Amino acid sequence: MEDKNNDILEEVTGSEYKYGFYTDVEMEQAPKGLTEDTIRFISAKKNEPEFMLNIRLKAFRHWQTLKEPRWAHVQYPPIDYQDIIYYSAPLKKPKLESLNEVDPELLETFEKLGIPLEEQKMLAGVAVDAVMDSVSVATTFRSTLAEKGVIFCSFSEAVQEYPELIKKYMGTVVPYTDNFFAALNTAVFSDGSFVFIPKGVKCPLELSTYFRINAANTGQFERTLIVAEEGSYVSYMEGCTAPIRDENQLHAAIVEIIAHKDAEVKYSTVQNWWPGDKEGKGGVYNFVTKRGICEGENSKISWTQVETGSAITWKYPSLILRGDNSTGEFYSVAVTNNHQQADTGTKMIHLGKNTRSTIISKGISAGFSNNSYRGLVKTTRKAENARNFSQCDSLLLGDKCGAHTFPYIEVGNRSSIVEHEATTSKISEDQLFYCLQRGIDMESAIGLIVNGYAKEVLSKLPMEFAVEAQKLLSISLEGSVG
Amino acid sequence: MLSIKDLSVSINGKTILDGFNLEVKAGEVHAIMGPNGTGKSTLASVIAGRDMFDVDRGEITYRGQNLLEMAPEIRAREGIFLGFQYPVEIPGVSMASFMRTAINEKRKHLGLEPMSGAEFLKLMEEKKKLVEIHSKLTNRSVNEGFSGGEKKKNEIFQMALLEPRLAILDETDSGLDIDALKVVANGVNKLRSPENATIIITHYQRLLDFIIPDYVHVLFDGRIVKSGDKSLALELESKGYEWVKKEANMAAAH
Out of B71, B76, B91, closest to residue A438 by CB: B76
Q: Please indicate whether, in this complex, the C-beta atoms of B93 and A449 are within 8 angstroms of each other.
A: yes
Q: What is the pLDDT of residues A70-94, one digit of tens each?
A: 888 888 888 888 888 887 765 544 4
Task: Give residue ranges of B with CB < 8 Å to any A CB.
Answer: 48-52, 71-73, 76-77, 81-82, 84, 86-88, 90-93, 97-99, 101-102, 105-106, 109, 141, 158, 162
Q: Is residue B212 part of a domain?
A: yes
- In this structure, the number of other CB atoms found within 10 A of the CB of residue A77 comes to 6
Taking residue A159's Cβ as centre, other Cβ atoms within 10 Å add up to: 23
B102 or A130, greater pLDDT:
B102
Residues forming a β-bridge with A207: A127, A236
Asked if the Cβ–Cβ distance from A1 to B49 is below 8 Å, we say no
CB contact set of A359 (below 8 Å; sequence gap of 6+):
A329, A330, A345, A346, A348, A375, A377, A388, A389, A390, A391, A392
Q: Rounded distance, CA B92 to CA A86, Å?
A: 44
* Residues of chain B neighbouring A444 (CB-CB closer than 8 A): 101, 105
Residue B42 maps to a domain: yes
Residue B235 lies in a domain: yes
Q: Which residues have a Cβ under 8 Å from the Cβ of A177 and sit 6 or more positions away?
A: A62, A183
- pLDDT value of position A19: 53
Q: What is the mean pLDDT of chain A?
A: 80
Whether residue B152 lies inside any domain: the answer is no
CB-based contact A188:A218 (threshold 8 Å): no
Band of residue A22 on the pLDDT scale cut at 50, 70, 90:
low
Q: Over pLDDT 70: what percentage of chain A?
A: 76
Residues on chain A touching B44 (C-beta within 8 angstroms): none
Closest Cα partner for A220 from A342, A128, A108, A84?
A84
Chain B residue with minimum CA distance to A425: B91
Q: Which is it for strands A417-426 and A191-197: parallel, antiparallel or unpaired? A: unpaired
Least confident of A96-105, A208-217, B206-215: A208-217
| pLDDT of amino acid A134 | 40
* A354 Cβ contact list (under 8 Å, min separation 6): A324, A325, A384, A385, A386
User: Is position B100 within any domain?
Assistant: no
CB contact at 8 A, B88 and A434: yes
Q: Which residues of A touch B (CB under 8 A)?
A: 1, 4, 428-431, 433-442, 444, 448-449, 451-456
* pLDDT recorded at residue B75: 97
Residue A211 predicted with pLDDT over 70? no
**Contacts of residue B73 in chain A, CB cutoff 8 Å?**
436-437, 439-442
Helix extents (H) in chain B: 40-48, 72-77, 95-109, 117-131, 148-162, 178-191, 230-239, 241-253
Pairwise CB contact (< 8 Å): B84 & A434: yes
- Domain contains B249: yes
pLDDT of residue B19: 92
The domain total for chain B is 1
Instruction: Specify the CATH number for the domain of residue B176.
Output: 3.40.50.300
Domain that holds residue B81: 2-91+166-253
Query: How high is the pLDDT of residue A103?
Result: 57
Give the distance from residue B54's alpha carbon to the nearest chain A alpha carbon, in angstroms: 10
Distance CA(A59)–CA(B110), nearest Å, equals 64
Contacts of B50 in chain A (CB under 8 A): 433
pLDDT in tens, chain B (254 residues): 999 999 999 999 899 999 999 999 999 999 999 888 888 999 999 999 998 899 999 999 999 999 999 999 999 999 999 999 999 999 989 998 899 999 999 999 999 999 988 899 899 999 988 888 776 777 889 999 888 888 988 999 999 999 999 999 999 888 788 888 888 898 889 889 999 999 999 988 888 889 999 999 999 889 998 899 988 888 888 888 888 778 777 766 65
Tell whether B15 is covered by a domain. yes
ipTM tops 0.90: yes
Selection from B155, B161, B163, B167 nearest residue B24 by Cα = B167
Pairwise CA distance, residues A87 & A132, whole Å: 12
Please state the separation of Cα A170 from the chain's center in Å.
18
B140 assigned to some structural domain: no
**What's the burial of B13, exposed, middle or buried (CB within 10 Å: 0-12/13-18/19+)?**
exposed
Evaluate if residue A104 carries a pLDDT over 90.
no
Q: What is the CA radius of gyration of chain A?
A: 22
